[in-house]
Amino acid sequence: MRRVIALSIFALLGCIAGYFAAPVLSMWAAQSADPVMFAGGIIANYKSSVVCDCNDRPASQGGRELSEYISSLQKHRANSPNSKLLAQEVGLAYVRLSILEKKLDQQPRADEDFKRGQAELAALGWKDVSESHLTSLVTRLNSEYKRADQTSKAVAATAR
């Protein structure tokens, strides 16, 4: 009888330990198996938080966050120098930063960052890297990022 109770306790403890260890071990396995894919998910979450917060926060705070986002992208790009997706994301982030700097009346920095974005996107083979096109493109892309509470209110309003 003691063996059955001891075996049951150990099985229960093993299940509990596995329940808490499985997520950590699966993250480790995913990262070691395909580090580029794992980094892509992290970058996507980071971009979502930066772009969404840039829509609702003051331009100065959004500018700092975008600068940090660009430096993070460039670190990942150093690991994958041939990644066209990272190059595109860096270019679009520079355009976003340029738009924010214009709002802050920092025209020389805005022009410099916009030229960096244009150069990144032109190197990828983009045909139209004009200021009007890239500004409207980034504005449309930014409008797709909304906070969760904003989307649920919109869905609730349309359901009535």
Q: Where are the domains of the chain?
A: 1-33, 35-159
Task: For residue 147, give every residue at least 6 positions away whose Cβ sits within 8 Å of its Cβ, in sequence order, or none.
Answer: 52, 56
Question: What confidence category does residue 122 fall into, taking pLDDT thresholds of 50, 70 and 90?
Answer: very high
Q: With a cut of 90, say whether residue 144 has pLDDT above it.
A: no
Better-predicted residue by pLDDT, 136 or 144:
136
* CA 39 – CA 41 distance, rounded (Å): 5
Q: How confident is the model at residue 103 (pLDDT cuts 50, 70, 90)?
A: confident
Distance between CA atoms of residues 72 and 66, nearest Å: 10
The pTM of the whole model exceeds 0.85: no
Read off the pLDDT of residues 8-22 as tens digits, 9 standing for 90 and up: 999 999 999 888 888
First to last CA, the chain: 62
Contacts of 76 (CB under 8 A, 6+ apart): 39, 43, 83, 86
